[in-house]
Amino acid sequence: MLRGQLVTMQDENVAEYRPIKFVPEVGGSTNGHFEGPPEGDVMAFAAPLAKDVVFLSAVGCKGNDQTINSRYLGTQHCSRDKLILRADAGDLRALITVRRSQIVKVVEIYAP
């Protein structure tokens, strides 16, 4: 089961993230969907983005191409500014790495 984070921006340097997991759909029209914690669960965290944060996009830096590996994880290096724009839109599902209380790596999970 794939577990990741839904990443949004609190301000220009601080990202908020909360856990999500992929839930397969059996017999439906899709493979499944991502779910967050149940309503009322307060499982949100926040940390500043490192100045040299690594962002690997699953849809390319322009947002119009699949740039994924066999596990549907992003492979294209994009800028910190592009990460901020994507997270600010509020729909960035990713695996994140936090080191010394800063987000140092964000790998987008492809979710069509």
Residue 105 has pLDDT above 70, yes or no: yes
Which amino acid is it at 77? H
Tell me the pLDDT tens digit for each residue of 42-93: 678 899 999 999 999 999 999 889 999 998 899 999 999 999 999 999 889 9
d(CA 79, CA 56): 9
What predicted TM-score, i.e. pTM, was given to this entire model? 0.86
Does residue 92 or residue 23 have the better pLDDT? 92
Return the percentage of the chain with pLDDT > 70, whole number.
Answer: 94
> Among residues of the chain, what percentage have pLDDT more than 90?
53
Matching residue, tokens 């322009």: 62
Quote the pLDDT of residue 28.
67
Q: Which helix (H) or strand (E) holds 24?
A: strand 14-24
pLDDT number for residue 3: 67
Residue 64's Cβ-count burial label (10 Å; 0-12, 13-18, 19+) is exposed
Given a cut of 60, whether residue 101 has pLDDT beyond it is yes
